[in-house]
Amino acid sequence: MEQDTIAAISTPVGEGAIAIVRLSGEEAFTIANRLFQTKDFQQVDSHTIHYGKLVDPKTNELVEEVMVSVMRGPKTFTREDIIEINCHGGMVSVNRVLQLALREGARLAEPGEFTKRAFLNGRIDLSQAEAVMDLIRSKTDRAMSVALKQMDGRLSSLIRDLRQQLIETVAHVEVNIDYPEYDDVEEMTHTVLTDKTTYVKTEVEKLLQTAKQGKILREGIGTAIIGKPNVGKSSLMNILAHENKAIVTEIPGTTRDVIEEYVNVRGVPLRLIDTAGIRETEDIVEKIGVERSRQALQEADLILLVLNGNESFTEEDAALFEAAKDMDFIAIVNKSDLEMKLDLDQVRQAAGDAPVITTSLIHEQGIDELESAIGDTFFDGSIDSGDLTYVSNVRHIQLLEQAETALQDALEAMENDMPLDLVQIDITRTWELLGEIIGEDVNDSLIDQLFSQFCLGK
């Protein structure tokens, strides 16, 4: 497939030791030769790197001293010829190199266009392409491990195997429809249909069982820290984040707004939200913060409800438990280093089945127990990132749920002795849905939308 040559900066914007300008396409070597007049990259070996001086062809002015990586297609990420110019990592330097490449015939790449070309040229399938972005955005080692396995094709291989099972099933249906005169064909086809459909449905259900954990590893757990003013919410955030993200004082109402930070708790990413203390107030700014706290409470996946152990249980505390009762939450009784005035039995009664952890955040006591409780709440205490194939992408989850429904419809149709050609419709629909996951049966607009979410230069 003939395409124009694209170029983009493939490293983060900012100062650094090295920045990379990447070119991909049929004219990549030709453009590079114009910028490095003393070197013919058409003649050098593929997958080699060369020192050179980049010169403006119009003025013969020295622009940069660089290292040039030469990779000849199809043994490249995009399966096209690729040039990567490694220059100094300053804003001026890398932009000058990019502008010269564009002036000499390259086109500025769209977001995700390098990965899109890898997909369109058959280098990777759609699920592997999406895993590239998951890898870049990984916030923990476990999330990175899941993305790497998906990039390696573990999910793709499983999906292709299931589609093959469905194709064989459809073939048996076709035999029955085309040769109805054979008495034993219908009975044999019905048995094969049931067995194959049940097998595929079981495998789809196994994937969906990993969806909650996979989605958490990919996107993190939205975790809201709530409580009355001055109970230790900001201290808890600072301890989990391992830095002073929130201002801590003894003055109630110090936190006026919602503060967000990603933290890593035993391999689980938490999108931690420190909220303003929820209370009635006449302060206009604090009142806005309280309203935002209530909104964060409604949107969170996990609530860390912090109580002051040095105070008696109040109606405000009871109201917080009431607000969190239908959600996953952990009650944290803080300030255990002071006299315990809070009735712990009353707290446990209000918490129900939710964990109750006692802490002294000023002395960083009870944090291990809290982290264990978070892991137990979402992962039963452990995460298997070894042989398990996680489904973490929302698009994949939705398609698998639709496939599960179609397979269930097929099984129910067989139980009700429906005509086989009607059963075949549900099985074929499942085959198409699974194909959308790996990009075998997907429209161009969806492809454009998916790759537009990628960063520039990837």
Say yes or no: 242 and 356 in one domain: yes
| CATH number of the domain where residue 271 is located | 3.40.50.300
Say yes or no: 203 and 226 in one domain: no
Last residue of a domain, one of 344, 379, 414: 379
What pLDDT score was predicted for residue 89?
Answer: 85
Say yes or no: 329 and 297 in one domain: yes
Say yes or no: 373 and 243 in one domain: yes
Give the pLDDT confidence of 46-87 residue by residue, as tens digits.
999 999 899 998 898 999 999 999 999 999 999 999 999 999
pLDDT-derived band at 7, boundaries 50, 70, 90 = very high
Domain for residue 124, yes or no? no
CA distance 289 to 247: 15
| CATH number of the domain where residue 441 is located | 1.20.120.430
Coil, helix or strand for 74? Answer: coil
pTM of whole model > 0.75?
no
Q: Is the peptide bond before 74 cis (omega within 30 degrees of 0)?
A: yes
- Cβ–Cβ under 8 Å, residues 375 and 223: no
Say yes or no: 198 and 238 in one domain: no
Residue 4 CB partners (closer than 8 Å, separation 6+): 25, 27, 106, 107
Please report, as a single letter, which amino acid is at residue 296. A
| CATH number of the domain where residue 97 is located | 3.30.1360.120
Can you list the alpha helix ranges (DSSP code H) found in 300-419? 315-324, 344-351, 367-379, 394-415
What pLDDT score was predicted for residue 330?
Answer: 92
Say yes or no: 29 and 152 in one domain: no
Pairing mode, if any, of strands 48-55 and 62-71? antiparallel
Say yes or no: 135 and 202 in one domain: yes
Find the distance separating the first CA and the last CA of the chain, reported in whole Å.
20
- Cβ–Cβ under 8 Å, residues 387 and 126: no
DSSP result, 259-318: EEEEEEETTEEEEEEE----S----HHHHHHHHHHHHHHHH-SEEEEEEETTS---HHHH
pLDDT-derived band at 405, boundaries 50, 70, 90 = very high
Q: What percent of the chain has pLDDT over 90?
A: 34
CA distance 104 to 458: 21
Rg (CA), the chain: 29
Q: Which residue has the higher pLDDT, 204 or 150?
A: 204
CA distance 457 to 352: 51
Domain with 179, as residue range(s), is: 131-210+391-451
CA distance 322 to 294: 13
User: Count of domains in the chain?
Assistant: 3
Give the pLDDT confidence of 137-169 residue by residue, as tens digits.
777 677 777 778 878 888 889 999 999 988 887
Say yes or no: 58 and 97 in one domain: yes
Say yes or no: 223 and 330 in one domain: yes
Domain for residue 86, yes or no? yes
Say yes or no: 249 and 148 in one domain: no
Say yes or no: 238 and 202 in one domain: no
What pLDDT score was predicted for residue 78?
Answer: 94
